[in-house]
Amino acid sequence: MSQNEARYTVRSLILTAIVAIVGTVLVLEMSGRISHTDNKDHVPVGDFQAIHITEGETFRMSPKSSELHAVCENGYLAIAADVDPSFRGILVDYKNRGVRCARPSPMGAPAPRAPEAPATDD
């Protein structure tokens, strides 16, 4: 290699990348290309997983509690933020169906009673 060849340090390359990213975000923000919505209607509250628990089996869970709590809202499970109770959303499955708070009756609506046969005297 010749003495005239320019050499760049790793530190200068990392600094250049950081400055480029920050500059890009600032330009997009100032030009209005990044939108910040105040409408909370269509913002997901969070991403949740269900852990299958069998009797006698232990599972690992973080000792810290989340900043969310669950409430029953019109028969469906809603998740709300502890810091902002107005920020809540209905829990849905992968097909966007609501998760109920209570298990429905397996019989459904009560069936109409069949007419009783008259008793015979023999």
pLDDT at position 6 is: 66
DSSP tally for the chain: helices H, then strands E: 1, 3
pLDDT digits (tens, 9 = 90+) for 33-81: 888 777 766 666 667 777 778 888 887 888 888 888 888 888 899 888 8
pTM here is 0.45
pLDDT at 89 over 90: no
Residue 87 burial (C-beta neighbours within 10 Å; 0-12, 13-18, 19+): middle
